[in-house]
Every structure is written in structure tokens, then in C-alpha cells.
Amino acid sequence: MTARNERSAADLNATIGEVLDADHETVGVDRTMFVPIGPGSLDVAAAERDIIINI
């Protein structure tokens, strides 16, 4: 895992968290349902982010 990938994972976690914080009342999710991703999970997390944003 490179430093760049680790930073990307951290940035993606922050982005997903921001989406959940902003939209939890609208889409019925809250931060307790969000589990931070680990290294190597960027593709899955990107797909999950797209689903959350497009709800």
C-alpha cells in the first residue's frame, strides 16, 4: 500500500462520511451504518459512494 493509496482511502472515507452527514435525514442512513474502508477496498467503496450519492 503506497502513501498515495492510503491518502485516497482516507479521502474517500471522509467523502462518504460527509455525504452521510449531509443526507441522513433524506435517505434514512446515519453515520453508525458507515464502516470505514481499509486498504484495497477503493473500488468497492467508490461503487458504494455512487449508490449513496444517487439515492
pLDDT in tens, 1-55: 566 666 677 677 667 666 666 555 555 555 555 555 555 555 666 666 666 655 5
Q: How far apart are CA 8 and CA 25, in angstroms?
A: 27
Rounded to two decimals, what is the model's pTM? Answer: 0.26
Sole residue written with cell 486498504: 39
CA distances for 29 relative to 8, 20, 40, angstroms: 24, 7, 25
